[in-house]
Amino acid sequence: MTIRARAGARVKECSGEFEVANFPVTCATTKTVSEGKQDCREIVSGPILVAKQYTFGIAVAWSVKPDGTVEESKNLGVHVKRLDDNPEECNISLEITILNRLKNFHMTLCDPTYHGISSQKARGWSRSFDMPDSRRHDGVKGLPLSDVFDHQAGWLHNGPLRVVAKLSVVVSFDSGVVSSNEASGQQEVCQSLQALLQSGSMADVALKVGSEEIQAHSIILGARSPVFERMFSCPMKEKKDKEVHIQDLEAAPVKALVKYLYTGVVDQTSLDNDNLALSLLEAAHRYEVPGLVERCVQVIVTRFKVETVAERLEMADMIGSKYFKAQCLEYIQAHLVDVQATDAYTRLVERRPALLRDIIEVVAPPSKKQRRLKAPFALASRQRQPCEPLRCSG
């Protein structure tokens, strides 16, 4: 009998919104120094982000002149600050969104990489932080305070500034110790469900892919996939006919998907090359199975090639995976000249020209002297920020 154990990090997600009322007046009157930088001020929320023993606040920062007046030409800063007194360092990944009155023009900054943060320290994008080479951080690139104060630009919601933060916090680690009874029980369940799938016993639905038919159990498919759940719980054709016709997918990835839904296991042969892994990723995304999406992405990002990375970027954007997209952009930045010479890059330019903005922002971020953009429609050119590394205050 094979005994399996599970070890690794346990992650808790948390999110919160911080609204700074009368933001221009707040900037003019707040005296709190940000991260020891005398030319920076900040305002911090209470502990609105909570992940077990760790608590965080959302902070907004800005620059001031020597006489203490607001320096509107400098960029706005946003970050999170750890507020608990726990002496242990924890690891976080962070996403911060500055809300615009027009939903399509929100500005999001993210970094899927986990970084350590100690009590009373901060992470994010603010001029009160130092870069690794001792330079000052630029804050939120392309968003000077003058634009924030400009009512036409849409950043103020009748006075208040609104910022949303989402954290993924490592709260504990599994030791990897699993009792033989527990492991045996888990294995027994997986083996029984796999045997049920293979036998077709009591199957009540057929998945038809091309000329092949997969006998399955609607209650299991629905429990594991929101898409299947909607099919079988609503008065849809699939529920009535007990047949699901799957288009634009081959049988192999659908079979691998169904096996994963029953057992949580992915055959290594389904991940052995990019074509197989991408087909399985497409199936997992279509049927909203995030665990399988993550497994496929983890494999694909280890096999980037100059010739195909532009295609991977299109896929990452299509499925909305920020980690996948960030890894693609990082690889393209490092191999830009070679990538631009590929057919895949040419196709990307023709089919998805909007993605060029993301590539340009990574390769050549906007300068501090970028002209002010007042009209709301102009904000579309800068609504998204590159997933640059997070900076820590100490």
Contact 257, 286 (CB under 8 A): no
| Predicted structure pTM score | 0.51
User: What are the helix and strand counts (H, E) for the chain?
Assistant: 14, 14
Residue 15 has what pLDDT? 93
Among residues 149, 2, 138, 150, the alpha carbon closest in space to that of 78 is found at 138
Report which of 51, 62, 52 is spatially closest to residue 16, judged by C-alpha positions.
51
205 three-class SS: strand
With CA atoms as reference, report the closest residue to 211 among 258, 269, 261, 250.
250
* pLDDT, mean of each 10-residue run, the chain (394 residues): 61 94 96 94 94 94 96 96 92 95 90 90 94 85 94 93 95 66 67 85 91 93 92 73 88 94 88 92 94 91 94 94 90 93 94 91 63 40 44 51
pLDDT of residue 375: 41
Looking at residue 386, what is its pLDDT? 43
What single string gives the DSSP state of each residue in 164-189? EEEEEEEEEEEES---HHHHHHHHHH
Q: What is the reported pLDDT for 5? A: 57
Question: How far is it, in rounded angstroms, from Cα 297 to Cα 293?
Answer: 6
pLDDT at 122: 95
Phi-psi region of 21 (alpha: psi -120 to 50; beta: other; left: phi over 0): beta
Tokens of 191: 């083996």
Which residue segments constitute the domains of the chain, with CATH numbers given? 7-174 (2.60.210.10)
pLDDT confidence of residue 236? 66
